[in-house]
Amino acid sequence: MLFKLRLASLVVFSAVLGYLFAVPAGEVSWAGILWLAVAGTLLTGASNALNQVLEVREDGLMQRTQGRPLVKGTLSMSEATVTAFVAGGLATFLLWLQFGPLTGILAFISLFMYVALYTPLKKHSAWAVFVGAFPGAFPPMLGFVAATGRFDLGAGLLFAMQFMWQFPHFWAIAWVLHEDYARAGYRLLPSVGGQDGRSAFLILLYTLFTIPVGMLPWAFGFVGPYALAASVLAGLVMVLPAFRLWRSHERKDARRLMFASFLYLPVVQIMYVIDRL
């Protein structure tokens, strides 16, 4: 529960797909994938644990987080902190050792940005979503760099796609959980008015942006027409509830967008890998 392993598994899955996207067909290293999965789980778990250490008071105020171990007292602050630092340090070391210094450095930057920048900013500004989108978009890029040992256009395109996807994804969650977040003093919707027309319009606008950004790997010749079609169709599946939310301002439409965004990322990334292979 401290590491939020269900969420961590989704992050690791994205990193593995980035790895497979970069490796030529027939040259996949299953040992490399295993190292990436283990280290990625430790790194994401450390980020989640430190997030809970810093937000234990706020977690106690929100209904959805009152069952977390630090709130319930089933783990102490020192136990959680030591566990997080050990996991984060071990993950960075493993990634550096197995895949080279660039992968290790990117892993550390991701952990630092999530814990030291995004987490404290959540209570002060809606710009926290922008800041958090950077470490949130690292996993496929990290997988690509782990496979190649370098940062190039392919890594940047994977980063861009996941970076843009996060805005409608997190804003949809923030809309659904607006009252719960407000109890803890979090400001995550893009408008100071919260669940208003400006927030709904920006959610729709950024959802539309996911379509051209998702097409970029095709535009630069990394994937073929099947991945192109999947990215456009998955984007349209997100646009429909985003448009409805813009018209209705209803939580049910924000929830539909949230679930559509959960579908978008794995579908598009899997099709990137299949089409490229």
Cα separation of 21 and 139, whole Å? 12
- pLDDT on residue 24: 83
pLDDT at 59 over 90: yes
Whole-number Å distance between alpha carbons of 63 and 66: 6
Contact 132, 114 (CB under 8 A): yes
Residues 90 and 111 sit within 8 Å (Cβ to Cβ):
no
How confident is the model over 200-234, as pLDDT tens digits?
999 999 999 999 999 999 999 999 999 999 999 99
Structural contact between residues 143 and 16, judged by C-beta atoms closer than 8 angstroms? yes
The closest alpha carbon to 175, from 162, 164, 191, 151, belongs to 191
pLDDT tens by residue, 140-189: 999 999 999 999 999 999 999 999 999 999 999 999 999 999 999 998 99
C-alpha Rg value of the chain to the nearest Å = 19
CB 264 within 8 A of CB 225: no
User: Could you give the dihedral angle defined by the CA atoms of residues 19, 22, 25 and 27, in that order, rounded to the nearest 10 degrees?
Assistant: -70
Q: What is the largest CA-CA distance in the chain?
A: 53
pLDDT of residue 123: 87
